[in-house]
């Protein structure tokens, strides 16, 4: 092979002045198709391959419009270079030679284009990992092959990272759901539970989570990107109870997690330990505390020491019976009916034996004890903060449990009237001489309820202060003839105002202090008065008394929430008064904690670069 021409092919030199042969009818009938030469010293055509192709197309189009035979000639000339031949005019011959040379150079090149041919072959061979061609193309082939092999391992590592990230997402959402379950089951409002859950997810690196809470379930949804399906998890709240010790520990855990003092894995382990742990105090001490609370209620209502002792024993019996019913999985409604009936039965016995006491105070103390376990504050808080579905569910629960109390007391009164034992209610008068006893009784009731609910010992002091303050305000307002509803609202406002500040200062959730401080303000005696009037007289006076009890309950909860609203900007001081009030936070942080990267407070000066 010489100059890229196969052996056995004869060539004839054609110079620039050689006549152009006429094009035959068919390109294959050309007499000298295999004898057209390629001169060794023929100069390269100045056009490039792309320019030559465009020129060919223009010439063929012009010839086709004129209808000359040159169209066929140009067509043959444009085809023959594909077979290594030259046809057409003088310029077409040069173009054909250039294309043949360019194609043959793929097999090793000719004298004019040896580097290009070798480079292209080497570039192709280097894609298979073989050496060949120039050094630059060979290195590129090896690099591409290495990158392809590394891509397999990179893909595996990326899949592993994706699976690890998915596990971390599941664990974070599970931790947030379990924390929200503890907070919601302890009587906290929906706004508090939502803020606590969002604080947990934000501390673990999940931004933009959506939380949906109903009375019995919690759902969290997280979407990593707009074009990615959201991840939604749900947890059902099956247990409800007031365990202030567990609530306090979970609240402290959330704050530590938000500050970065504990990792997500450690927080999950600590939460599991808190949930599985038993009460911090013996159960018998909690039962005794319920009795002390009932005794304080009789002292607050003007009872003597004998009736106080009877109220303590009665409350212990009610608590023991409710615990037994709870182990038998009896619904709470029937437990309320049983407890109220026990209190009324004891009062009937005292009235039957003509004991020198006020039997109605035993019933009132029992009603206050049973009302203390109703989460009325959470229902009103949900309604005020806009969670109407949960507020409706909590209100229905409160009405149902209160209805159980009414049913139990009504049953006892009906039996008493049947057997000629009407337990009448004596008129209650508020005297300034009894003011210290009433204030001390309010503090005793609040502390006893907090201890019975397993509140931390450090919370008993602020609870006593708030309970005493609320009782003092209520007594003064009632003596000033402001009515029971407004007197209760004013006292509840003081409880909410002081409970928020003192609770945070002593390291406990304000919910613990607030709920305990409102116990002395519960309308136990008003409910019994309305029921007795309805059962004995059957007039509208009893309906008015029951409506007054409902108004007292609403005033109690709304006054507490108002105190929380006012306490927030006061505690943040005047520099934060411009912030909007996002709602009271009785549990958890006021808003989700956002971690910010540390940045320098000094501004860097921009220096103008000198021109190049």
State pLDDT tens for residues 43-83: 444 444 455 566 667 776 676 565 544 444 444 444 444 44
Write phi, then psi, for 248 (nearest 5 degrees). -65, -45
| Closest by CA position to 262, among listed 204, 342, 318, 349 | 204
Edge-to-edge strand ranges of the sheet holding 231-236? 210-213, 217-222, 231-236
- Average pLDDT of span 259-269: 92
DSSP 214: -
Confidence band, pLDDT 50/70/90 cuts, at residue 492: very high
Contact 408, 338 (CB under 8 A): yes
Contact 19, 87 (CB under 8 A): no
> What's CA 51's distance to the chain center, in Å?
65
Task: Note the pLDDT of residue 591.
Answer: 52
Q: Which two tokens stand for residue 79?
A: 């085809």
Of 236-240, 273-277, 365-369, 393-397, the least confident: 236-240
Rounded CA separation 153/162 (Å): 14
Task: Note the pLDDT of residue 61.
Answer: 67
Over 50: is that where the pLDDT of 351 sits?
A: yes
Kindly list the distances between the CA atom of residue 213 and the CA atoms of 191, 237, 256, 302, 358, in Å, as whole numbers in the listed order. 9, 10, 24, 43, 46
Rounded CA separation 551/489 (Å): 10
Query: Cβ atoms within 10 A of the Cβ of 255, count?
Result: 18
DSSP state string for 563-596: HHHHHHHHHH-GGGTTS------SSS-SS-----
Rounded CA separation 79/96 (Å): 9
Quick one: residue 349, left, alpha or beta (phi over 0 = left, psi -120 to 50 = alpha)? alpha
Confidence band, pLDDT 50/70/90 cuts, at residue 233: very high
**Residue 428 in 3-state DSSP?**
coil
Confidence band, pLDDT 50/70/90 cuts, at residue 586: low
Kindly list the distances between the CA atom of residue 286 and the CA atoms of 56, 297, 328, 448, in Å, as whole numbers in the listed order. 104, 17, 20, 9
Contact 547, 534 (CB under 8 A): no
Confidence band, pLDDT 50/70/90 cuts, at residue 588: low
Average pLDDT, the chain: 75
Rounded CA separation 165/25 (Å): 73
Task: Note the pLDDT of residue 127.
Answer: 43
Domain ranges of the chain: 27-134, 159-276, 283-573
Query: Cβ atoms within 10 A of the Cβ of 589, count?
Result: 18
Rounded CA separation 579/227 (Å): 35
Q: Which of 22-36, 355-369, 577-591 has the highest mean pLDDT?
A: 355-369
> What's CA 272's distance to the chain center, in Å?
20
- Average pLDDT of span 96-108: 42
Over 70: is that where the pLDDT of 103 sits?
A: no
**Residue 7 in 3-state DSSP?**
coil
Q: Is pLDDT larger for residue 9 or for residue 370?
A: 370
Q: What is the pLDDT of residues 519-541, one digit of tens each?
A: 999 988 888 888 888 877 766 77
Rounded CA separation 528/406 (Å): 8
Write phi, then psi, for 20 (nearest 5 degrees). -90, 120
| Closest by CA position to 88, among listed 147, 21, 170, 4 | 21
- Cut 0.75: pTM above it: no
Confidence band, pLDDT 50/70/90 cuts, at residue 138: very low
Task: Note the pLDDT of residue 64.
Answer: 59
Please, where are the H alpha helices in 243-331? 244-259, 264-276, 283-300, 305-327
Kindly list the distances between the CA atom of residue 334 and the CA atoms of 215, 329, 406, 411, in Å, as whole numbers in the listed order. 21, 10, 12, 13
Q: Is pLDDT larger for residue 158 or for residue 308?
A: 308
Task: Note the pLDDT of residue 25.
Answer: 46
**Strand partners for 307:** none
Please, where are the H alpha helices in 480-539? 484-505, 510-517, 524-536
Rounded CA separation 514/378 (Å): 11
- Average pLDDT of span 568-590: 52
Confidence band, pLDDT 50/70/90 cuts, at residue 145: low
| Residues listed for the chain | 612
Contact 50, 43 (CB under 8 A): no
Task: Note the pLDDT of residue 215.
Answer: 87
- Average pLDDT of span 134-162: 54
- Average pLDDT of span 302-311: 90
- Average pLDDT of span 157-183: 83
- Average pLDDT of span 8-34: 44
Query: Cβ atoms within 10 A of the Cβ of 421, count?
Result: 17
What's the CA angle centered on 383, arms 466 and 373, to 5 degrees?
50
Tell me the CB-side half-sphere exposure of residue 492, using CA atoms within 13 A. 26
**R_g over Cα of the chain:** 46
Task: Note the pLDDT of residue 254.
Answer: 93
Contact 510, 504 (CB under 8 A): yes
Over 60: is that where the pLDDT of 465 sits?
A: yes
């Amino acid at each position: 092979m010489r100059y890229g021409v196969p052996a056995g092919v004869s060539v004839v030199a054609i110079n620039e002045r050689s006549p152009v042969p006429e094009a035959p009818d068919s390109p294959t009938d050309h007499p000298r198709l295999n004898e057209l030469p390629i001169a060794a010293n023929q100069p390269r055509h100045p056009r490039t391959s792309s320019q030559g192709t465009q020129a060919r197309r223009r010439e063929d189009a012009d010839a086709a419009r004129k209808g000359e035979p040159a169209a066929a000639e140009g067509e043959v000339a444009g085809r023959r270079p594909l077979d290594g031949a030259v046809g057409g005019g003088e310029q077409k011959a040069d173009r054909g030679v250039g294309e043949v040379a360019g194609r043959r150079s793929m097999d090793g090149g000719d004298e004019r284009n040896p580097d290009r041919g070798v480079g292209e072959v080497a570039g192709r061979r280097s894609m298979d990992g073989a050496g060949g061609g120039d050094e630059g193309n060979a290195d590129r082939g090896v690099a591409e092959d290495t990158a392809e092999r590394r891509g397999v391992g990179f893909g595996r590592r990326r899949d592993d990272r994706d699976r690890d990230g998915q596990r971390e997402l599941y664990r974070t959402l599970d931790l947030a759901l379990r924390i929200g379950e503890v907070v919601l089951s302890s009587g906290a409002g929906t706004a508090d539970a939502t803020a606590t859950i969002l604080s947990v997810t934000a501390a673990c690196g999940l931004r933009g989570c959506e939380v949906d809470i109903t009375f019995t379930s919690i759902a969290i949804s997280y979407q990593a990107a707009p074009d990615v399906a959201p991840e939604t998890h749900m947890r059902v709240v099956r247990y409800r109870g007031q365990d202030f010790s567990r609530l306090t520990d979970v609240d402290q855990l959330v704050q530590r997690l938000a500050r970065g003092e504990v990792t997500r894995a450690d927080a999950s382990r600590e939460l599991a330990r808190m949930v599985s742990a038993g009460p911090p105090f013996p159960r018998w001490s909690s039962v005794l505390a319920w009795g002390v609370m009932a005794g304080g209620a009789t002292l607050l209502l003007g009872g003597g020491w004998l009736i106080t002792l009877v109220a303590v024993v009665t409350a212990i019996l009610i608590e023991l019976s409710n615990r037994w019913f709870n182990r038998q999985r009896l619904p709470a409604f029937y437990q309320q009916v049983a407890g109220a009936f026990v209190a009324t039965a004891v009062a009937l016995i005292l009235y039957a034996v003509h004991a020198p006491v006020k039997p109605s105070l035993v019933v009132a103390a029992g009603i206050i004890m049973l009302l203390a376990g109703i989460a009325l504050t959470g229902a009103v808080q949900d309604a005020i903060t806009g969670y109407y579905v949960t507020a409706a569910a909590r209100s229905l629960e409160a009405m149902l449990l209160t209805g159980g109390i009414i049913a139990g007391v009504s049953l006892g009164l009906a039996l008493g009237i049947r057997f000629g034992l009407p337990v009448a209610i004596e008129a209650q008068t508020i005297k300034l001489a009894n003011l210290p006893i009433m204030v001390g009784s309010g503090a005793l009731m609040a502390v006893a309820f907090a201890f019975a609910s397993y509140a931390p010992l450090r919370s008993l002091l602020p609870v006593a202060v708030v309970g005493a303050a609320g009782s003092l305000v209520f007594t003064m307002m009632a003596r000033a003839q402001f009515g029971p509803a407004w007197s209760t609202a004013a006292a509840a406002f003081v409880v909410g105002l002081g409970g928020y500040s003192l609770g945070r200062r002593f390291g406990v959730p304000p919910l613990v202090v607030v709920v305990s401080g409102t116990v002395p303000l519960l309308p136990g005696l008003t409910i019994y008065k309305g029921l007795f009037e309805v059962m004995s007289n059957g007039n509208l006076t009893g309906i008015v008394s029951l409506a007054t009890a409902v108004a007292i309950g609403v005033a109690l909860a709304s006054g507490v929430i108002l105190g929380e609203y006012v306490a927030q900007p006061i505690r943040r001081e005047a520099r934060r008064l411009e912030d909007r009030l996002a709602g009271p936070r009785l549990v958890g942080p006021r808003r989700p904690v956002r971690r910010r990267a540390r940045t320098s407070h000094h501004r860097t000066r921009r220096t103008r670069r000198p021109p190049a």
